[in-house]
Each structure stands twice: as C-alpha cells, then as structure tokens.
Amino acid sequence: MIRLLAKIRNIFLLWWGDFTLQTRLMAGATLVVSLITSALTFWAVNTIQMDARLNDTRFARDLGLLLAANVAPLVDTADRTELARFSYSFYQSTSSVRYMLYADENGDIFFGIPFSEAAVQSSLTLRRRMQLPEGYAQNTDRPLVRQHLTPAGEVTDVFVPLNYNGTYLGVLALGINPNPTVVASSNLTRDVTIAVFVSIWVMVILGAVFNALTITQPIKELLLGVRNIADGNFKQRVDLPLGGELGELIYSFNDMAERLERYEEQNIEELTAEKAKLETLVSTIADGAILLDSDMHAVLVNPTARRIFGWDNQILDGKNILEHFPAPVRVQLTRPLFQAVKGEAEAMEFRVPLTDPVNRTLRILLNTVLDQAKENVKGLAITVQDITREAALNEAKAQFISNVSHELRTPLFNIKSFIETLHEYGEDLSDGERKEFLETANHETDRLTRLVNDVLDLSRLESSRQYQLEAVDIIQPIEQTLRTHRLNARDKKVELLHDVEPNLPAVIGNYDLLLQVFSNLVGNALKFTEPGGQVMLRAHQILPCGNDPNEESYVRIEISDTGIGIAPEDQQAIFDRFFRVENRVHTLEGTGLGLSIVKNIIEKHSSEVHLVSEVGIGTTFWFDVAAYQPEAIAVAAENATHSEVDKDLAIAAIAPTLVESPSLAPQVDLS
C-alpha cells in the first residue's frame, strides 16, 4: 500500500512538474476560489437546514400544545372512544404528523396512531412504556422536543404533558415530519453545490489537459530544441502540426536551425581547411612547436618536437605536457609555465642540456597566447630548437679564437723580444749575435705568415664560396708536389717515392686546391718521418663494380709514411683545427690547421679523406676523386659523399708496399 501511494505520488509530481508556472498559479487560484465558493455554499445550506429544523421544532411544539389542550378533558374523563375519534380525525387532516402516542402518568402507553389490528391485539398482551427523561414528571410545565433519524427520514419528537385543572394526566407524544419543501430545497442546494464544485474541477482538469496538449507540450518541445541548439546540435527540428502564432513560431525555429546547420557546415569546412593548412605549416617547421591550453594540456605537437623528445609513438592530445617532458626540461619549465598561465610572464627563454639518449642542447622559447582583448591567457606556445650544433660551433669558435690568439702571441712575442734586444743593446752585440737575432726574428715572421695564410685558407674553405671544378690531369699536381718537397726530403734523409698508375683519367677538381692537399699531406708525412724512413704518394683508378656504363669511376690518392703514427685516441680529432699530435708525442712546430684544410678541400670535391695509422709503423691518408665525365661537371659540387672503402683493405694494400717492399715502388727523378 505504501509503495502504491509513493508511486501515485511520484506520478502526480511528474505530472505536476510538466505544467508551467502560469498554469500552476491558475490551478492554485481555481482551487482557492472553488474552496471558498463551496465553503460559502455549504455554510448557506447548513444555515437553511438549521432554520428549517428550528421551524420544525417550533411547529411541532405548537402543534403538540394545541392537541394536548383539546384531548386533556377527554383523557381526564377517560372517554377513550371520543379520544380515538378526535385523534384519528386530527391525524387524517394533518400530513405532518408521523405518529401519536398517549401514555398515562406512569408512562404506560394506552393509545397510539397509526395502529393496526395486530398492534391492538398485541397491545392487549404487551405493556409498552414510554421512556421519558428522568425527572420529566417534575417539569410538566413545558414540552420536550428532540429529533432522531429513522429509515424513512428525520422525525421531530414532541413530548407534551397532559394537564387538566392542575392535574398531571400523562404524556402526549407526537412525531412530526420535516417540511418537505424545505428539505427538497436544502437537498437541491447541496446537490447544486456539489455539481458546481465538481464542474469547476472538471473544467480545471480539462483546461490543464488542453493546455498541456496545445501549449505546454509544444513549448517544452521548443525549449528542448533551443537547448539542443545552444549545445551545438543544429540538426534539431520540432515537428508538431500546429497553426496560428505557435505554428509560426515552430516554423521560424526550424528555419533558424536549418540555417545554423548550413552555417556550421560551412564554418567546419573552412576551419578544417585552415586547421589542415596550419598543421601542414607547423609540421614543416624545422623547430619543435608545442601548443598548450590554459590547463597545460597538449593541443598541438609537431613532428619535430616529437622527434626531439622521443614522443613518436605517444598520444599527447589532452594530456598534461609536464608529465611527458624529460626530467631536466620539467625542472626548468614547471614554475615558468605556471607563471605564464597566471599571466605573470609573457615571453621567456631557456637553455636546457640533455644527456639522454645523446648529449644535446635545447633552446626553449615560451610565449603566452592571449584572447582578442589581450587580457586573459588562452594558452601557451612553446618553441623548441636543437642548438647542439650551434653550441658546438660557438664552442669551436671560442676555441679557435683562443688557439689563434695563442699561436699568434708566441711568434709576436719572440719577434718583439729579439727586436727590442737589438734596439736597446745592438751596439753591445757582436755581428754574429745580431745576425742570429735577425734570423730568429725572420724565422718567427715566416711562422706567423704561415699561420695567417692557413687561417685565411681555412676561412675561405669554410665559407659559402663556390670553387670552379673542371677536368684536371692528376699527374701535374702530383709532379709539382714531388718537385717541391724533393729537396726537403733529401735534407731530412727521407726517401720520397711515388707509384702512379699509367694513363690515369682526368679528375673533376680544382688544381690549386688539390695541389694544396698534396702539399699539406706530403709535408706532414716528411715532418713526422724519422731519417731513413719512406714517404710514398700513390694514385690509381677504381673502376665501377657493376656493368652500368653510367656509373662513375674514381681516382684514389694515397699518401703513406713510415713515421711515428697516430694513436687511436687521436685519430678522431686529427682533423680538428689547431689539433697537433706533437702536443702529445713530440714538440715539432706546426699550426695545427693543415689537416683541417685538407678535410675541407676534399669535402669541396664531394669526397672524404680517410686515415689508417698505427703508432711506430706509419700512417696512410687516402681519398677518392671522381674521374672526369663531361656530363658530371655541372653536378659535381652537389654529389653526395660516396661510401667508405674498407680500411683493412687499404692497410693490406698500402702498408706492405712501404714497410716490407719499398724497393718495388718505381722512382722518378723529378729534381
């Protein structure tokens, strides 16, 4: 029962909740008016009924007094025949009398109307008494009136004492029917009131149903549609067959929704195209780009940033970017990011070194993205640049300046010292001492000149200057190099040999640059080879491995010596600027720029210089130059570096010739 009541209550509340505030107010006002009207009606009916009852009581009392005055003499004389005739005649002439009963002073009934033969017969055998209120005999100066309900309706009972000549003779009891006109009027009024009350509420209920069907439901549908439109669901439509103003409103709503849907589709297409353009542009940026919202959740991460931080296989959209940064970056950026989100900073720059997986240096630029009013922070833009090479170049630049300063300072100091000595003590010095001082100053000047020339050469090579490459007969720079260093080799008692393959094709190169390469390599070989050693310059052609006639062939140049060799730990840095092996193994003079110049020249020829060395045995430098082909001249400067040849093969091919069988190399006297 409780569940049923709760269910009915929930249904009522749900039903009541479907009505608008105006409908609820109307229903409440109708309820109040109907209750007041019904209360007034019932009050009027009760008043009428009370007046009717009072009139009935008065009528019954007056009728009882009149009848008692007429029958008292008959009761006193015990003339019951006349009493019966008169009473019956009175009963027949008055429709308001329901019954008439006579009782003696002891309350025993001795006559009553109406009566039947069976009742008379039973009255002979049964003694009936009239139950009167206690003490009624002592108050016989007034009648007693009361009312009670019977199956036939309400009856007014009147008990009138019978007194004659001051003697109490008994009691006359009358049953008076109520006034039928008054009763009918009262009942009619009650029925009409109930009918009016029921009619009012039937009208209220019908009005509510009509309102729900014709007004409330369409308005609810419209409200739901407006909410869906506000939420971005522009496909919402209201389909209700209504006319009038409400129908026009629904039609206008559907037309608005259709226009918004078309406008949204157009905007989505434009935004999608713009987004695709933006993503394409951002993805092609060489720097890493990360866009965050105000909660530091990733909105856009371009491929460069993913590669820098190793996020290639991670889904970052909508995630907190701080959780995915490497630890050093997270430490540097956590506080600045929170400050930028709060608007406490607009642009910041950081340099963060990373060691995992390799040593790198990152430059991170942090900028805030503001709204159109330039007041509130809508997001953050992070630009990530890998400046490892830049940092290395800056370090190399600083090292280069330091080394140049050091190298320049030594000869300048020596020159200044000897010249000052000559200037101050020239008269005190002998001719031999002055000549020695001048030779030393001249020697230091030559050393300074070589250093400056090497620096200038290296600077030109490392610039973007384009060199003219053309067909060069490789024999000519080789012969010129041998002639230049033949005397130096003879003075150092080092055997300078060459092994040049006959009929070598011309190569694509620059004559002056190739000559400088040969001179630097042969000069280094002579400088680091002890007396009695050998230096060999070899040149031979390398033919293509395949059958493709368009495949390039090369001329390989090798400069080998039987000098002191280069330790493995020095071989990686041997081509760096100002790096000199003598810094570790001996004290021979040099600028430390020769091999760096060689490397740059060979790279200008789209090739690489290679090194094979062993301490105490010797060193071999070798490189390949593309053989001349007329169609290859135009693209020679853009060719990629070809693959490296096996170093073990080079050692096997070159070292035995120098160490084991030096006499096999042909010798040409070019002096």
Please spell the DSSP secondary structure of 478-541, one letter per residue.
HHHHHHHHHHHHHHHT-EEEEEE-TTPPPEEE-HHHHHHHHHHHHHHHHHTS-TT-EEEEEEEE
* Between 314 and 613, residue with greater pLDDT: 613
Q: Is the pLDDT of residue 476 over 80?
A: yes
Q: Give me the pLDDT at residue 493, please.
A: 92
Confidence of residue 346 (pLDDT cuts 50, 70, 90): confident
**Mean pLDDT along residues 216-238:** 75
β-pair partners for 540: 556
Q: Give me the pLDDT at residue 416, please.
A: 83
Q: Name the least confident of 283-287, 402-406, 539-543.
A: 402-406
Confidence of residue 650 (pLDDT cuts 50, 70, 90): very low
Domain 466-664 has CATH 3.40.50.300: no
Contact 316, 301 (CB under 8 A): yes
Tell me how far apart the alpha carbons of residues 598 and 643 are, in angstroms, rounded to a whole number.
19
* Between 240 and 271, residue with greater pLDDT: 271
- When the pLDDT of each residue in the chain is averaged and rounded to a whole number, the result is 76
Contact 185, 45 (CB under 8 A): no
The Cα-based distances of 86 to 74, 240, 470 in angstroms read 10, 83, 169
The percentage of residues in the chain with a pLDDT greater than 90, rounded to a whole number, is 8
Tell me how far apart the alpha carbons of residues 121 and 144 are, in angstroms, rounded to a whole number.
30
Tell me how far apart the alpha carbons of residues 69 and 160 are, in angstroms, rounded to a whole number.
10
Q: Name the least confident of 366-380, 578-592, 646-660.
A: 646-660
Q: Is the pLDDT of residue 653 over 50?
A: no
Q: Give me the pLDDT at residue 589, please.
A: 54
Tell me how far apart the alpha carbons of residues 38 and 194 are, in angstroms, rounded to a whole number.
8
Torsion sign over Cα 373, 374, 377, 381: positive
Q: Give me the pLDDT at residue 118, please.
A: 45
DSSP state letters, 62-94: HHHHHHHHHHHHHHHHT-HHHHHHHHHHHHHH-
Q: Give me the pLDDT at residue 378, please.
A: 84
Tell me how far apart the alpha carbons of residues 305 and 148 are, in angstroms, rounded to a whole number.
104
For the chain, give every residue range classified as CATH 3.30.450.20.
Answer: 47-184, 285-386
Q: Give me the pLDDT at residue 591, please.
A: 59
- Strands 167-176 and 97-104 come out as antiparallel
Contact 346, 337 (CB under 8 A): no
**Mean pLDDT along residues 291-319:** 84
Q: What dotted CATH number matches 47-184?
A: 3.30.450.20
Q: Is the pLDDT of residue 213 over 80?
A: no
Residues in the chain: 671
Tell me how far apart the alpha carbons of residues 146 and 499 are, in angstroms, rounded to a whole number.
160
Tell me how far apart the alpha carbons of residues 470 and 120 are, in angstroms, rounded to a whole number.
166
Q: Which two tokens stand for residue 247?
A: 């129908």
Q: Is the pLDDT of residue 562 over 60?
A: yes
Q: Give me the pLDDT at residue 592, please.
A: 67
Q: Give me the pLDDT at residue 126, please.
A: 44
Q: HEC profile for 3-69?
A: HHHHHHHHHHHHHHHCCCHHHHHHHHHHHHHHHHHHHHHHHHHHHHHHHHHHHHHHHHHHHHHHHHH
Q: Give me the pLDDT at residue 264, please.
A: 77
Most confident of the ranges 164-173, 197-206, 523-532: 523-532
Contact 457, 467 (CB under 8 A): no
Q: Which CATH superfamily is domain 285-386 in?
A: PAS domain (3.30.450.20)
Sheet strands (E) in 328-450: 347-354, 360-370, 377-386
Q: Give me the pLDDT at residue 662, please.
A: 33
Q: Give me the pLDDT at residue 424, please.
A: 83
Helix extents (H) in 357-387: none
**32-73 pLDDT per residue, tens:** 877 787 777 778 777 777 777 777 788 878 888 888 888 888
- Those residues whose C-beta lies under 8 Å from the C-beta of residue 551, and which sit 6 or more positions away, are 544
Residue 200, Cβ density class (10 Å: 0-12 exposed, 13-18 middle, ≥19 buried) = middle
Q: Give me the pLDDT at residue 531, please.
A: 92
- Asked if the bond preceding 357 is cis, omega within 30° of 0, the reply is yes
Q: Give me the pLDDT at residue 460, please.
A: 65
Contact 496, 662 (CB under 8 A): no
- Asked if the bond preceding 303 is cis, omega within 30° of 0, the reply is no
Q: Give me the pLDDT at residue 536, please.
A: 93
**Mean pLDDT along residues 508-512:** 87
**Mean pLDDT along residues 432-455:** 78
The Cα-based distances of 82 to 78, 79, 86, 166, 428 in angstroms read 9, 6, 6, 22, 200
Q: Is the pLDDT of residue 88 over 60?
A: yes
Most confident of the ranges 305-319, 526-540, 627-641: 526-540
- Those residues whose C-beta lies under 8 Å from the C-beta of residue 95, and which sit 6 or more positions away, are 177
Q: Give me the pLDDT at residue 499, please.
A: 92
Which pTM was predicted? Answer: 0.39
Q: Give me the pLDDT at residue 666, please.
A: 34
Sheet strands (E) in 562-645: 609-614, 618-626
Tell me how far apart the alpha carbons of residues 221 and 231 are, in angstroms, rounded to a whole number.
15
Give the other-Cβ count within 10 Å of 71's Cβ: 24
Tell me how far apart the alpha carbons of residues 87 and 421 are, in angstroms, rounded to a whole number.
183
Q: Is the pLDDT of residue 583 over 50?
A: no
Tell me how far apart the alpha carbons of residues 547 and 204 are, in angstroms, rounded to a whole number.
105
CATH topology of domain 392-458: Helix Hairpins (1.10.287)
Tell me how far apart the alpha carbons of residues 533 and 662 are, in angstroms, rounded to a whole number.
10
Q: Give me the pLDDT at residue 559, please.
A: 93
Tell me how far apart the alpha carbons of residues 272 and 407 are, in angstroms, rounded to a whole number.
62
For the chain, give every residue range classified as CATH 3.30.565.10.
Answer: 466-664
**Mean pLDDT along residues 630-644:** 44
User: With b meaning 16 or more CB within 10 Å and e meaning fewer, what string describes 539-549?
Assistant: beeeeeeeeee
Tell me how far apart the alpha carbons of residues 288 and 291 are, in angstroms, rounded to a whole number.
10
For the chain, give every residue range classified as CATH 1.10.287.130.
Answer: 392-458
Sheet strands (E) in 196-247: none
Q: Is the pLDDT of residue 648 over 60?
A: no
**Mean pLDDT along residues 469-477:** 89
Confidence of residue 661 (pLDDT cuts 50, 70, 90): very low
Contact 100, 173 (CB under 8 A): yes
